[in-house]
Amino acid sequence: MLRQLKFGRYSNFFYYLCNGNVRTDVCYYPLYNKEKVMSKTKVLFIAQEMMPYMPTNELSKVCRELPQNIQERGHEIRVFMPKYGTINERRNQLHEVKRLSGMNLIIDDTDHPLIIKVASIQSARMQVYFTDNDDYFQRNIGMEIDEANREDNDERSIFFVRSVMETVKNFGWAPDIIHCHGWLSSLAPLYIKKSYADDPCFRSSKVVVSLYENNFTRPFDKRFAEKIIFRNITPSDIPFTTGDEIDFITLNKLAIDYADGVAIGNENVDPALIDYAKEKGKLFLPYTSDENRTDAYEQFYDQVWNNNQ
């Protein structure tokens, strides 16, 4: 059944299957809307880390402030980050969302249960969703650990990105812009453009990747090319093979390959990544300071959305 849904002064065409009532288990998304601007746009933030849950750096600071500022301008947002073992659940008032938990994600032929938790930043009137799993994020609870150089970071990145995709599907929420922050989210563009390309929640989504200097020095497992194969992804879609060393630059180049737009998250991003994004002809946003960041990203979202519509 084809219906027109209206929101304020704007109207978009959506389709959904129903029996006269709006369904909550399917996604609603625009069929055509070439002139869409940043009015009530839905933005999904996939954040490697975020204040106040992780130590302060430019990445965690941007992921704390930008979603709030975008929301305050009237846009709808969702924010996801991993539930690292060092995050104190009681202090930060996290609680499990049972209706979103319980799914198993298969990675390298092993089932990994997904638990979704949520917390609120009251001062920002903003909720943050956490993807949790005992195998990947709960070891060494309460200890100071080097999250960037764990031996299982290849599988952690797979689990994190796929858990966000599956949870957003369970929301029945179709983001217009998906904004990825940090190398742990680097697989999101590949999965969105390949594995979830035909899913109603993601088929119209545009992906923005913000690059940061936050690095890891321990290369991923040499079977990484095998492990990331998932629905509709073939070896020809991946610019490396089993046995190749996957370092920080290689992983970020994969993100750039499938992104619709690339932004520079801080001033010390590796020049090789900047050159690569420009060589690929990606829409590009240079580094912007705190006072101009929200304006710059809001305009960039418009540019990315309207490109090739």
Residue 86 token pair: 């060092």
pTM as predicted = 0.86
Which domains are assigned to the chain? Answer: 1-33 (no CATH), 36-306 (3.40.50.2000)
User: What pLDDT, on the 0 to 100 scale, is given for residue 139?
Assistant: 59
Report d(CA 196, CA 41) in Å as an integer: 20
Fill in the amino acid letter for 222.
K
Q: Maximum distance among all alpha carbons in the chain?
A: 55
Distances (CA, A) of 65 to 58, 87, 124, 206, 298: 10, 19, 9, 21, 13
Please give the distance of CA 114 from its chain centroid, rounded to a whole number: 16
Report d(CA 137, CA 49) in Å as an integer: 13
pLDDT digits (tens, 9 = 90+) for 106-116: 999 999 999 99
Report d(CA 237, CA 194) in Å as an integer: 9
Tokens 């689990």, residue?
159
User: What pLDDT, on the 0 to 100 scale, is given for residue 150?
Assistant: 85
* 81 φ, ψ (degrees, to nearest 5): -150, 165
Beta bridge partners of 178: 44, 207
pLDDT digits (tens, 9 = 90+) for 159-214: 999 999 999 999 999 999 999 999 999 999 999 999 999 999 999 999 999 999 97
DSSP run (H or E) holding 46: strand 42-47
Residues of the chain with confidence (pLDDT) below 50: 1-26, 28-36
Cβ atoms of 211 and 263 closer than 8 Å? yes
User: What pLDDT, on the 0 to 100 scale, is given for residue 22?
Assistant: 42
